[in-house]
Amino acid sequence: MKIRVLFLYGGDSVELEISIISALQAMDGLDTERYEAIPCYISKQGDMYGGEHLRKLAHYRDLDALLQRVTRVHIERRRGQPVLVRDEARRFSRVIPFDIVFPILHGVNGEDGSAAGFCRMLHLPFCESDVLCGAIGQDKAMQKRLLQQAGLPICPHAVVKKQEGSGGWRRTLSALRMPVILKPSLLGSSIGIEKCEDLDACLQALPHIFAYGDEAIAETCVPNMREFNCAILHTPYGYRVSAVEEVTRGKDILDYEDKYMGGDGKGIISTKRVWLKEEPLVHQVQQLTMRFGKMLGVRGVARVDFLYDPQQEQLYVNEINTIPGSLSCYLWAWEGVEFPQLLDLIIRDGLEAYRERRRRLSSYDTNVLQQYFDCETIETHGTSLDAQTLALIRLAQQRRGVIIFTDPDHPGEYIRRRVNEAVPGCKNAFIEKDKAKTPKKVGVEHASRADLEEALKHCYIHAEQPHAHIGMDQMLDLGLQGKADSAQRRAFLGTYYHLGRPNAKTLLRRLNMLGVQADEVKKVLSEGGFS
């Protein structure tokens, strides 16, 4: 079964167009054998839309016409399953289930932690840095403060506040050497950026920059500046950094037009690239990228931008982008990580992050199992067993293999049956109730290490269509049902075959899974003292 990925993009940011381009690139780049892309466009008014017409970039040239051809939708949970619901004027609206959200909402009300917060509130898995990391990544002024406190190198700069007025602006900027680069504190993609040669030019430019927010960053221009980009990726296996790109431009500032409108509309993916090959400098860039990314707790992919002063041989950390344009796929291609693989790693990291969040609320049994064994656990958190949990189990089964080890009670048996049905090929382990209980509770966490090890030695794989070696008539003939001691007989067989303490129906199914013949069962019962 494919993992269904809901792409959330658009929004009311001035970086709307970039969001559309990046999202469509990602949807087209998915491995269609493993994933299914579901588009969900957010209009500037905050309305959500779904439909296949959203998949074509050309349709966005006339947004009004496009929105007439698609359907209003909203996100909700039904029986624990996240779904996209079509808001149609009919009694039963179409429901589209999905497994994880992939937010590609550049700028404010998205990248700034808003999208992560939205997903958090609805308990949705998502492919993105968490709320705090996104908020800091969007706020350049806050980034500067954190970088300074952490001892990472940054350009001489000043934070200019709108509320201070022209007199305050003049005092703040007077401390900097001209010329300076002015840019909004809360925007990316080089929107609103200005180069100012003197103080008067700064004072003229600031009112325009403050149209994007209440704070601006002023940075002293680096003579003969070189600019580098490096991406960081958090995977289920840890952090890794990309190749280092040296940004080329014909202007003093690489602006929005250069980044996104070049290359016959293909934007930054098609831009000609120069890869930094000066080994000491490459190493320094990658090292600082790793430090900054780890410090913020980046998840998925982020890009860190650098400035370099060749005269002073000084490297400066400029800023981080927690949802970079085109997901910085071009930086990873140089390392041999193609776009489908990059998307796969990001999605898997999102599912793993969701599992980690769920595990923080996990019960004691997880801690016990991880204390005794070198294993990872997936908590179901009760019998609801939502689609995200099944998606995690399915992925774990594909990658590493899964042992289903549930509590020896009715809810545990229900969970086991659901998982076996949804994820074929899992191994099953059982422990007897009297070995996994206290006077008040039943659970695998109460079993001894020796009993847990014994249970794990006797795993079997659930077959989708077991061979019926034993039928219900034979169950009666063997005294496993309908006799005064049937419960004792079933308990004996459960212990003998390490199947727990199942009822008659469950025992029948498990014996057939093992391929046990009726004659064998009769012999085992006889040896156990049952006539």
Domain assignment present for residue 138? The answer is no
Q: Residue type for 449, please?
A: R
Domain assignment present for residue 131? The answer is no
Same domain, 10 and 43: yes
**Residues 348 and 236: beta-carbon distance below 8 Å:** yes
Alpha carbon distance 506, 412 (integer Å): 13
Same domain, 247 and 338: yes
Same domain, 58 and 205: no
**Residues 98 and 4: beta-carbon distance below 8 Å:** yes
Residue 213 buriedness (CB in 10 A; 0-12 / 13-18 / 19+): middle
Q: HSE, CB side, 13 Å, CA atoms: give it for residue 355.
A: 22
Distance of CA 250 to the CA centre of its chain: 37
357 Rama class: left (phi>0) / alpha (psi -120 to 50) / beta: alpha
Q: How would you list the strands of the sheet with 180-184, edge to edge?
A: 157-161, 215-220, 180-184, 194-196
Return the pLDDT at 1: 76
Parent domain of 401? 360-527
Number of CB atoms found within 10 A of residue 305's CB: 20
Number of CB atoms found within 10 A of residue 264's CB: 7
Q: How would you list the strands of the sheet with 100-104, edge to edge?
A: 95-97, 81-86, 71-78, 48-50, 35-42, 3-10, 100-104
Same domain, 370 and 440: yes
Q: HSE, CB side, 13 Å, CA atoms: give it for residue 206.
A: 26
The secondary structure element, H or E, covering residue 304 is strand 301-309
Same domain, 366 and 511: yes
Residue 523 buriedness (CB in 10 A; 0-12 / 13-18 / 19+): exposed
Same domain, 477 and 410: yes
Domain assignment present for residue 150? The answer is no
Domain assignment present for residue 353? The answer is no
Task: Examine the fold and report which residue of 180, 200, 220 is the final residue of a domain before the chain moves on.
Answer: 220
Domain assignment present for residue 136? The answer is no
Alpha carbon distance 195, 202 (integer Å): 8
Return the pLDDT at 141: 86
Same domain, 216 and 230: no
Q: Which residues contact 159 (CB under 8 A, 6 or more apart)?
A: 141, 144, 172, 185, 215, 216, 217, 218
Task: Examine the fold and report which residue of 348, 371, 398 is the final residue of a domain before the chain moves on.
Answer: 348
Domain assignment present for residue 132? The answer is no
Angle between helices 165-174 and 199-209 (to 10 degrees): 130
Alpha carbon distance 169, 161 (integer Å): 7
Return the pLDDT at 39: 97
Q: Residue type for 496, please?
A: Y
How many domains does the chain fold into?
4
Alpha carbon distance 16, 115 (integer Å): 14
Alpha carbon distance 287, 240 (integer Å): 10
Return the pLDDT at 189: 56
pTM value?
Answer: 0.65
Return the pLDDT at 462: 66
Alpha carbon distance 202, 200 (integer Å): 5
CATH for 163:
3.30.1490.20
Same domain, 469 and 373: yes
Q: What is the pLDDT along the chain (531 residues), one digit of tens a residue?
A: 789 999 999 998 888 899 999 999 999 999 999 999 999 999 999 999 999 999 999 999 999 999 999 999 999 888 778 899 987 655 456 889 999 999 999 988 899 999 999 999 988 999 989 999 999 998 888 898 899 999 999 988 888 898 888 888 888 888 888 898 888 877 765 677 888 988 889 998 898 888 888 888 888 888 888 999 999 999 877 899 999 999 886 544 444 444 444 444 444 554 567 999 999 999 999 999 999 999 999 999 999 999 999 999 999 999 999 999 999 999 999 888 999 999 999 999 999 888 777 766 544 555 666 667 767 777 776 666 777 678 778 878 887 788 888 888 778 888 888 888 888 888 888 888 778 777 767 777 778 888 888 888 778 776 655 556 788 888 888 888 888 888 888 888 877 877 777 788 878 877 877 777 888 888 888 888 887
Domain assignment present for residue 133? The answer is no
φ, ψ of residue 227 to 5 degrees: the values are -125, 135
Same domain, 212 and 242: no
Rounded to 5, what percent of the chain is helix, strand, coil?
45, 20, 35
Domain assignment present for residue 78? The answer is yes
Taking every pair of Cα atoms in the chain, the longest distance, rounded to a whole number of angstroms, is 103
Task: Examine the fold and report which residue of 174, 190, 220 is the final residue of a domain before the chain moves on.
Answer: 220
CA distance readout (Å), 36 to 50, 199, 220: 14, 53, 47
φ, ψ of residue 406 to 5 degrees: the values are -100, 165
Same domain, 160 and 65: no
**Residues 404 and 418: beta-carbon distance below 8 Å:** no
CATH for 55:
3.40.50.20
Same domain, 96 and 180: no
Characterize the bridge pairing of strands 427-428 and 403-404.
parallel
Return the pLDDT at 255: 46
CATH for 262:
3.30.470.20
Same domain, 388 and 508: yes
CA distance readout (Å), 154 to 40, 175, 252, 293, 444: 38, 16, 19, 15, 53
Number of CB atoms found within 10 A of residue 517's CB: 13
Straight-line distance from the first to the last Cα atom of the chain, in angstroms, rounded to the nearest whole number: 47
Alpha carbon distance 223, 428 (integer Å): 66
